């Protein structure tokens, strides 16, 4: 029965690795300037983890095949090198891996989090609330008016809590349900949560960041391919969580200007 274990484990290990090796399940296309670093890190880690996975499973299978239910009286023996060899192997193999992955991986993280947005980045505010995203563009004056939570009135389309009656800056703010952005221009996304925690995730942008109530965070990214992509909430936010989504629309600069003008007239 030890041999059966070895055979089944070998099949499981190879079958588990197969879809990865043939790239059956892969990330969707990357449309960001920083995403390739994340993808490379993911693929390097996959190679190392795959090696460790297959190595350990096949070794386990082999040893169980060879050393189970042996004849009575067969003497047990010990691995030459013993525990010292194991400890040294773990330190050398995994220690190197930890250092390599840990140090290399910092670069991809730094691209996203340690570089400030460019001064000419387009600022857009994103608000997450149960169960929709809304986006706000500052309008002609380039200024976002302050928010007044007590003025939020979704029935009348005041999703952010703007007060145009008393606030001059609020009068030209443009509020939309989709995030349209110009291609190849950095976007500085200011994130605001209206009620509970949410998250902003665009797979193709390789970006994920929580919205935290009471903590206004920001993100910056540049999209390099035109198209329409799903923005989804990935932080459990209540009964409509599964359906909380919006679209990211990457447009040429001209199309974006046209779109923004149209939206401005709709306000």
Q: Which is nearer to another protein, 106 or 252 (CB)?
A: 106
Q: Is 20 in the site for another protein (CB under 8 A)?
A: yes
The CB-of-99 to another protein minimum distance in angstroms stands at 8
The piece of 9-17, 117-125, 170-178, 251-259 that touches another protein (CB under 8 A) is 9-17
Taking CB under 8 A as the rule, does residue 264 contact another protein?
Answer: no
**Per CB under 8 A, 94 contacts another protein:** yes
Does 235 interact with another protein (rule: CB under 8 A)? yes
Neighbours of 85 (CB within 10 A): 11
Is residue 157 a contact point for another protein (CB under 8 A)? Answer: no
Those residues whose C-beta lies under 8 Å from the C-beta of residue 227, and which sit 6 or more positions away, are 31, 204, 250
8 A C-beta contact, residue 146 and residue 106: no
Which stretch in 101-109, 117-125, 162-170, 182-190 sits in contact with another protein by CB under 8 A?
101-109
Residue 79 touches another protein, criterion: CB under 8 A? yes
141, 230, 257, 262: residue in contact with another protein (rule CB under 8 A): 230
Give burial (CB, 10 Å; 0-12/13-18/19+) of 134. Answer: buried
* Cα 221 versus chain centre, distance: 12
Q: Could you give the angle at which helices 95-113 and 35-67 cross, rounded to 10 degrees?
A: 160
Scan residues 118-137 and list those touching another protein (CB under 8 A).
129-130
Residues 14, 70 contacting (CB under 8 angstroms):
no
Stretch that binds another protein, among 136-144, 166-174, 179-187, 209-217 (CB under 8 A): 209-217
Q: Minimum distance between the CB of residue 219 and another protein, rounded to whole angstroms?
A: 10
CA distance 135 to 124: 7
Neighbours of 66 (CB within 10 A): 11
Q: What angle do CA 112, 118, 123 make, to 5 degrees?
A: 90
Cβ neighbors of 128 (< 8 A, separation 6 or more) are 191, 192, 193, 194, 198, 199, 200, 211, 233, 237, 244
The reply on whether position 225 binds another protein by CB under 8 A is no
Please state the closest distance from residue 98 (CB atom) to another protein, in A: 4
Of 182 and 207, CB closest to another protein:
207
The CB-of-262 to another protein minimum distance in angstroms stands at 26
Nearer Cβ to another protein (203/260):
203
Q: What b-and-e string marks burial along 67-78, b requiring 16 or more CB atoms within 10 Å of the CB?
A: eeeeeeeeeeee
- Using the contact rule CB under 8 A, the part of the chain among 136-144, 148-156, 165-173, 174-182 near another protein is 148-156
- Interface of this chain with another protein, residues 236 to 255, rule: CB under 8 A: 236-243, 245
Residues 48-67 that bind another protein (CB under 8 A): 48-50, 52-53, 56-57, 59-60, 63-64, 67
Tell me if 14 contacts another protein by CB under 8 A. no
């Amino acid at each position: 029965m030890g041999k059966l274990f070895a055979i089944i484990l070998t099949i499981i290990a190879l079958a588990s690795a197969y879809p990865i090796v043939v790239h059956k399940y892969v990330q969707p296309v990357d449309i960001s300037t920083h995403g390739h670093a994340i993808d490379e890190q993911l693929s390097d880690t996959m190679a190392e983890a795959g090696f460790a996975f297959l190595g350990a499973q096949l070794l386990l299978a082999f040893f169980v095949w060879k050393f189970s239910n042996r004849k009575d009286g067969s003497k047990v023996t010990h691995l030459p090198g013993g525990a010292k060899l194991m400890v040294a192997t773990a330190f050398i193999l995994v220690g190197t891996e930890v250092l390599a992955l840990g140090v290399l991986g910092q670069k991809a993280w730094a691209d996203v989090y340690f570089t400030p947005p460019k001064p000419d980045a387009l600022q857009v505010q994103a608000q997450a609330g149960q169960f929709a995203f809304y986006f706000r563009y500052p309008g002609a004056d380039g200024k976002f008016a302050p928010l007044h939570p007590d003025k939020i009135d979704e029935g009348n389309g005041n999703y952010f809590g703007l007060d145009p009656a008393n606030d001059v800056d609020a009068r030209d703010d443009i509020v939309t349900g989709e995030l349209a952005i110009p291609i190849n221009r950095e976007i500085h996304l200011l994130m605001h949560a209206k009620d509970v925690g949410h998250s902003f995730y665009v797979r193709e942008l390789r970006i994920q960041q929580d919205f935290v109530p009471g903590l206004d965070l920001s993100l910056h990214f540049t999209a390099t391919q035109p198209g329409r992509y799903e923005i989804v909430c990935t932080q459990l936010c209540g009964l409509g969580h599964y359906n909380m989504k919006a679209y990211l629309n990457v447009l040429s600069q001209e199309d974006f200007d046209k779109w923004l003008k149209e939206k401005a007239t709709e306000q």
